[in-house]
Amino acid sequence: MRRYAWRRWRCAMGCWISISVNNSPMNAEVFMRRLFVVSGILVFLSGCAHITGRINTASYAEPPQKPSFIVVISDPLSLTDRNIGVLIEKKMEERGYNKAASEAEANVAVLFKYGIGAGTTEVSGGTYEGRVTVSSYTTYPRFFQVTVVDLSKSKLPNKIEIIWQGELRSKGSLDDISRPAPYFIDALFECYGSTVTNEKFTKRLER
């Protein structure tokens, strides 16, 4: 009876690729050929990975005169949240807003929140030269929201005057928000100031 050993690799997109090879020394050349093919597939997948999703935004009002903003970070001890805050600050400045020197001087507040749901794994299989191959792919639902508030017209906590709000939903293999967050923020702020419904976006994932 021949014995076969399974070899498995996980690609950059989160999928497992498995091949089986004969344990005998005479099959080493076959194994190396298959390894070369698998390596090529992994390079192709990692170089062509994209982040996709849908965006909904709503523009409610014009910003106040001489807008001066702060980004509200719900968890100041979180490095991820602080990094996201910096990215949003840059986007606001690119759109003509000035960063306030202090909270008391701000007339605009920018809030954000995000979430990642439980993963769903799909398994598929096939045959290659009589050998069974199995691959699996896990995706996670992801959510990101940015809300811009006019503090000069808001009466917190009873009344909140929203200038603009954007929500993004996506699915993918990345289960750490710090990696896709820059792409989510880019996609959302491309729609800043406008109202869109279920608009599709695609961003190429850089290595």
CA distance 120 to 135: 14
pLDDT of 190 = 97
On whether the CB atoms of residues 56 and 166 are closer than 8 A, the answer is yes
pLDDT of 33 = 54
pLDDT of 136 = 87
Reduced to 3 states (helix: H, G, I; strand: E, B; else coil), residue 87 is helix
CA distance 207 to 189: 22
pLDDT of 36 = 47
pLDDT of 184 = 98
**Running along the chain, 207 residues long, what does each successive block of 10 average in pLDDT?**
45 45 48 48 54 97 96 96 98 97 96 96 80 87 98 92 98 94 98 97 89
Closest listed residue to residue 146, CA positions, set 203, 103, 190, 116 = 190
Question: Residue 103 is encoded by which pair of tokens?
Answer: 């909270």
CA distance 168 to 16: 28
DSSP state letters, 4-65: EEEEEEE-TTS-EEEEEEESSGGGHHHHHHHHHHHHHHHHHHHHS-EEEEEEEEEE--PPPS
DSSP state letters, 185-199: HHHHHTTTTS-EEEE
pLDDT of 133 = 82
CA distance 173 to 159: 39
Q: What is the pTM of this model?
A: 0.75
Closest listed residue to residue 114, CA positions, set 162, 53, 64 = 53
